[in-house]
Amino acid sequence: MTDHWIVRLACAAALMFGVAVADAAEGAKTLQAGNDLSDRASLQRGAQLYMNYCSGCHALKYLRYSRMAADLGLSEEEVMNNLNFTGTPVGEPIPVTMPKAQAEKWFGKMPPDLSLISRVRGSDWVYTYLKSFYLDPTRPLGWNNTVFPNASMPNPLWEMQGLQHAVHGKPENPGEDPPVVGLKIEQPGNIDAGQYDQAVRDITNFLEYAGEPAALKRQKLGVWVILFLALLTFLAYLLKKEYWKDVH
């Protein structure tokens, strides 16, 4: 068990270093996600959206179906009937739906596990990334992303968001490609912009939870710890007064 956690922390540290270098190169400006881990309804919606739109390519190998059910206030039957598309036992981690051979054929390699994406990149990055896809005919899959240029994946949420196109500015130097200065929805999706923002926020919220499921219990315990410390401080103050009441 100890070795498992050491390996996990080492991987997270390596990822964080790599991401810092990548972010510096990308120079992306992120939006505020505004997600709230205490919003259970948002976490439930995020789980549903993730399983329907993201789990086909991305696993969550550090989160078990049974743990997700307990934390999100769902029964194991609800999770197995509505959120499990692989037939994986309820006590097992959440796998990817797509076979490895097909992933390598379509993308060149297996898409990454997203268990720690929020902890490594940050929730604001995830939120902004999911809002920043645009059509790009020069890319193999026809999509690009302003936050993660030349991303090797299409927009999984395009039906909800609609078809987004890049607004180009003037190149700084002759011969350079014009920079992307904005994004514009040319063909609306099946929900409006406000609803799409909420859907992306829900997915971001769920991925933040998936990165550290214990955070929900830690927050609840934190309130009781503060109350205990306040009571202990008050008792210590009374004890101090009792000891020193005869000292002038």
Q: What is the pLDDT of residues 121-169, one digit of tens each?
A: 999 999 999 999 999 999 988 999 999 999 888 999 999 999 999 999 9
Contact of 184 with 167, CB cutoff 8 Å: yes
Task: Please report the pLDDT score of residue 25 as a whole number.
Answer: 39
Domain total in the chain: 1
More confident residue, 11 or 198: 198
Residue 217 inside a domain? The answer is no
Q: Are 245 and 95 in contact (CB under 8 A)?
A: no
Would you say residue 173 lies in a domain?
Answer: yes
pLDDT at 24 over 90: no
Q: Is residue 12 part of a domain?
A: yes
* pLDDT surpassing 50 at residue 19: no
Comparing CA positions, the residue from 43, 77, 81 lying closest to residue 63 is 43
Q: What number is the average pLDDT over the span 14-19?
A: 40
Q: Is residue 23 one of the residues assigned to a domain?
A: yes
Question: Does the pLDDT at position 83 exceed 90?
Answer: yes
Tokens of 30: 């992120």
Rounded mean pLDDT of 35-56? 95
The percent of residues above 90 in pLDDT, for the chain, comes to: 61
Q: Give residue 97's pLDDT band: very low, low, confident or very high (50, 70, 90).
A: confident
- Does 168 reside within a domain? yes
Mean pLDDT to the nearest integer, 219-233? 80
| pLDDT over 70 (residue 28) | no
Q: Is the pLDDT of residue 237 over 90?
A: no
Dihedral sign for Cα atoms in the order 143, 145, 146, 150: negative
pLDDT attached to residue 3? 44
- pLDDT value at residue 92: 96
pLDDT at residue 224 is higher than 80:
no
pLDDT of amino acid 22: 41
* β-strand partners of 93: 64
- Region 69-85: mean pLDDT is 95
Distance between CA 83 and CA 79 in Å, rounded?
5
Distance CA 96, CA 236 (A): 54
> Residue 152 sits in which domain range?
2-212
- Does 232 fall in a domain? no
Average pLDDT over the chain reads: 85
User: Sign of the C-alpha dihedral, residues 215, 98, 15, 7?
Assistant: positive
**Residue 76 counted as domain residue:** yes
- CATH number of the domain where residue 113 is located: 1.10.760.10
Sign of CA dihedral 124, 127, 131, 132: positive
Residue 172 lies in a domain: yes
Q: For residue 4, is pLDDT > 80?
A: no
Length of the chain: 248
